[in-house]
Amino acid sequence: MAIPIVPQLLRAHLAELAENDERHDGRARWESRNTELEIGVLRNAEGSAKVRIGDTIVYAGVKFQIMTPYPDRPNQGGLMCSAEIRPVAGPNWEPGPPSPESIELGRVVDRGIRESGCIDVDNLCIIPGEKAWQVILDLFAISDDGNLFDAFALAGIAALKSAMLPEVKFEMSDSDRPLPVSKTPIMCSYHKVGGRFVYDADGREELGGDERIHITLGDDDHVHSLQKGLKGIFTENEFSEIMEHAQSRCKELREMVHNAEEAD
């Protein structure tokens, strides 16, 4: 079936499908695309992961730097999370300074991880007031067919959980030790397509859809981060339905991270 790529026609087409509760690739409303996670894939990173969701492919890499703690928090290290979507990732990504879209992507993923408290920054102190670890998580997309948010979030937490503090390289010890990561925050994203929310929108659904909602849940269904993006109005009922799905899907993805860790 030919799928129109002119946004106006695409919208109409997706709306038509939605009336029969269908999606253009045959998925059910809450069904995700095939999702794969690999860890330890980047040799020069201290922790890394590759995630593929359908035709969306992203990498996450963890690097460490030594920082001076802020004067008011002498016992704390830092976490920095940065997302880049370079023009390699698709015909519409442009070179140049980060677009508003990619800035939002980085900040939303960053928040989900940061706010869960999974990285205990007090644990990153080396010498109080003088030296601490700064954890840098770089998210890097090479193929964008939609839902970079969830792909980045999944690759990000998996990369962090596989990361080794490079104590040998920095001449602090005879062996590296794992970065302590106490929780596994997981993001689920929903797009309004043809008037109703669906899970894991692909590139076409993003192009012909409306607002999106990103939910990051922690190990115990606690909410750590929310973000509504794009123009659009939603009701309390719509939100409750999404939240319910997120609670069950996050558990499955958390399982996938744990399995990858054990296989490592």
Partner 1 sequence: MGGYGDVQMIDENGIRVDGRGPGDLRPVSIETGVIPVADGSARVIWGTNHAVAAVYGPMECHPRKIQRQDRAVLDVRYNMAPFSTTDRMRPGFNRRSREISKVTADALESVVLLEMYPRCKVRVEIEILCAEAGTRCVGLTAASVALAHAGIPMTDMVVSVASGKINDVVVCDLNKEEDNYGEADLPMGILPNSGELVFLQMDGDLSQAEFQQAWDYNMEAAMVVHQIMVDALKGGDA
How far is Cα 106 from Cα 102, in angstroms, rounded to an integer? 6
Give the CB-side neighbour count of residue 60, counting CA atoms within 13 A. 33
Q: Count of CB atoms within 10 A of residue 210's CB?
A: 17
Q: Report 160-179 residues binding partner 1 (CB under 8 A).
A: none
Selected range binding partner 1 among 21-29, 173-181, 228-236, 256-264, rule: CB under 8 A: 228-236
Q: Given the structure tokens 């399995």, which residue do they identify? A: 259
Each residue 64-103 as x (binds partner 1 by CB under 8 A) or -, in order, gives -x----------------x-x-xxxxxx---x-x--x--x
CA-to-CA separations, 18 to 13, 21, 27, 120, 231, in angstroms, rounded: 9, 4, 11, 44, 19
**Site residues (CB under 8 A) for partner 1, limited to 137-156:** 138, 140, 142-145
Give, for 79, the enclosing helix (H) or strand (E): strand 78-85
Contact 62, 179 (CB under 8 A): yes
The answer to the question of residue 63 lying near partner 1 (CB under 8 A) is yes
Q: State yes or no: residue 35 binds partner 1 (CB under 8 A).
A: no
Interface pick for partner 1 out of 111, 191, 192, 204 (rule CB under 8 A):
111
Name the residues that contact partner 1, by CB under 8 A: 42-45, 48, 55, 57, 59, 61-63, 65, 82, 84, 86-91, 95, 97, 100, 103-104, 107, 111, 115-117, 136, 138, 140, 142-145, 203, 211, 213, 218, 220-236, 239, 243
